[in-house]
Structure 1
Amino acid sequence: MKQLSVPKEIIENCFSQVLATKSHETSENSDTNYFIDADLSILGQSGEVYTKYYKNVRKEYAVYPNIVYNSGRKKALQHFLTMENIFKTEYFYQKFEETARKNIQKEIELL
């Protein structure tokens, strides 16, 4: 981005937004909250779309045997279910929260 003469503040903001996707915690920056919510929006898609997504995640981690993958995936998914709100913005919360929780619970039960 430096080579494109993008201002330092924008580069730093992009960097912090990408890092925010690791913890999925609410940010003081509303743009970061929208960024996190957009990243997580797959969780609240229809069952068919979500199933395709989690099967692709499994393919991405095919190097791990089921015993390792399943426990790690369950831990990651349970993290979302323990959150008061998966989605940080009102728009994404209203649109996806309920379906996301159902999708996540269903995937946990299948692991």
Structure 2
Amino acid sequence: MKSIGVPLEMIELCKTQIMATKTHVLSENIDTNFFTDADLSVLGQSWEMYSEYYQNVRKEYAIYPDLIYNAGRKKVLKHFLVMERIFKTDEFYLKFEANARVNLEKELAILN
């Protein structure tokens, strides 16, 4: 990005936002919150769309046997479920939060 003239400040912001998708915690930067909320928006889609998503996640990690994958996936799902708010912005929270929690609980039940 530097070689095509993108300012260092913008490059650093991009790095910060990408790294924020690892933890999905509230940021002081509203744009970062929108970025991470958009990243998680699939969680709040219809069950059909969410099912397709989590099945694709499983395919992505096909190298791992169910015993290992399921334990790790449960940890991820529980990480989101214990959050006070999955979505940091009011816009995403109002639109997706309730359905995201239902979807995460359903997938967790399937893994148990």
| Global fold match (TM > 0.5) | yes
- Residue 24 of structure 1 corresponds to 24
**Unmatched runs of 5 consecutive residues or more in structure 1:** none
Structure 1 letter corresponding to 2:86:
I
Q: CA RMSD in A?
A: 0.3
1:64 equivalent in alignment to 2:61? no
Alignment partners' CA distance in 2, 1:26 and 1:4: 31
Structure 1 letter corresponding to 2:24:
H
* Deviant stretches of 4+, over 2 Å: none
CA apart distance, 1:33: 0.2
- Residue 51 of structure 1 corresponds to 51
The 5 A counterparts of 1:1-111 are 1-111=1-111
| TM-score after normalising by structure 1 | 0.99
CA apart distance, 1:4: 1.2
> Share of identical aligned residues, percent?
62
**Unmatched runs of 5 consecutive residues or more in structure 2:** none
Q: How many residues align?
A: 111
Alignment partners' CA distance in 1, 2:53 and 2:66: 17
Alignment partners' CA distance in 2, 1:110 and 1:15: 35
CA apart distance, 1:3: 1.5
Alignment partners' CA distance in 1, 2:24 and 2:48: 24
Alignment partners' CA distance in 2, 1:69 and 1:108: 12
Deviations 1:53-88 (A, max 9, x none): 000000000000000000000000100000000000
CA apart distance, 1:16: 0.2
Deviations 1:13-58 (A, max 9, x none): 0000000011100000000000000000000000000000000000
